[in-house]
Amino acid sequence: MEKLIDWISQPWPWYVAGPLLGLTVPVLLLIGNKSFGISSSLRHICAACVPAKIPFFSYDWKKEAWNLYFVFGVLVGGMIVGLFFSNPEAVVVAESTQKDLEALGITQYSNLLPSEIFNWQNVFTLKGLVFFVFGGFMVGFGTRYAGGCTSGHAIMGISNLQWPSVVATIFFMLGGFAMTHLFLPTLMKIAGF
């Protein structure tokens, strides 16, 4: 049992984790003709909880309840792994990336998120407004505009050979590169770094 826990606690190599994630697509299709994606769950939650007669939320969300269970499972699984199976080793970040982050004022990234930005003290500050509110809005807007999130398009859509998903994934990547190399330094200055 201890060996199993040690094995689960270590990061899995890409050639194990990647195929397991990729096999989610055919399993969902074979079991119930379901599409893999996370962002649609927010729409289902709003359809279930918002009593207004907004056309976008007026559909039978109960048929998609499996998606809510899936997202809940991801949340609970992440919490279990974070609490009981977290890897005690430091996160490995490339040396060139460390130098780039240090130039932006980010030196602590041991929890995968830079604690200089993502902490409770920044929630009601300019940093919080820029990175939490504005950033969250942009992610939500982009997801809605693209008709899905990166997992839906890059994993499900491309595996189904859907041209719009290829285009969306290309632009997700281009947007990420542009944000990292063009906009992030300016945003860090605006936010007070």
Q: What is the mean pLDDT of the chain?
A: 82
Scored b (16 or more CB within 10 A) or e, 63-81 reads: ebeebbebbeeeeeeeeee
pLDDT in tens, 63-99: 888 888 888 998 998 888 888 877 677 777 888 888 8
- Provide the whole-model pTM: 0.69
d(CA 117, CA 106): 8
For 9-42, the pLDDT digits (tens) are 777 788 988 888 888 888 888 888 887 778 878 8
Measured CA to CA, the distance from residue 25 to residue 155 in angstroms comes to 7
What is the band of 174 on the pLDDT scale with cuts at 50, 70, 90? Answer: very high
Q: What is the pLDDT of residues 110-157, one digit of tens each?
A: 666 787 777 888 888 887 788 888 888 888 888 888 888 887 888 888
Quick one: pLDDT at residue 73? Answer: 92
187 within 8 A of 130, measured Cβ to Cβ: yes
- pLDDT range class, residue 8, cuts 50, 70, 90: confident
What is the reported pLDDT for 170?
93
pLDDT band at 166 (very low <50, low <70, confident <90, very high): very high
> H helices of the chain, where?
2-9, 14-32, 40-49, 65-84, 95-103, 126-128, 135-146, 150, 158-159, 163-178, 184-190
Return the C-alpha torsion angle 138, 141, 146, 151, nearest 10: 70
